[in-house]
Amino acid sequence: YEVHADYLRVLEVDAVSPANTAGLRPGDRITAIDGQRVDALGEIGARQAMDRGALRPLALTVVRSGGAPQEINVRVDAVYPAR
């Protein structure tokens, strides 16, 4: 993902990841993580919240192509591949 002031933009979704199973797609904008807005979390807080996806499920509020926000639940596991 790429960090912006008020959202995280999904750059890539691994085909065998829980994020893919949950329905995340490249280009999605994550605006909240577990009910906390990305702009309130700040960059470090947002990164830490996403990293917690390896330990517990995440509820992500996602905006896709200017549509209405929707909640996507990602099961426990890595949300993105480690690099």
> pLDDT (tens digit, 9 = 90+) per residue, 25-76?
999 999 999 999 999 999 999 999 998 887 889 999 999 987 899 999 998 7
The torsion region of residue 76 among left (phi > 0), alpha (psi -120 to 50) and beta comes to beta
Instruction: Classify residue 26 by its DSSP letter.
Output: T
pLDDT of residue 44: 94
Closest CA relative to residue 61, chosen from 73, 49, 50:
73
Distance CA 2, CA 7 (A): 9
Closest CA relative to residue 21, chosen from 57, 67, 66, 68:
57
Tokens 């995440």, residue? 58
**79 C-beta neighbours (distance < 10 Å), count:** 26
The predicted model scores a pTM of 0.85
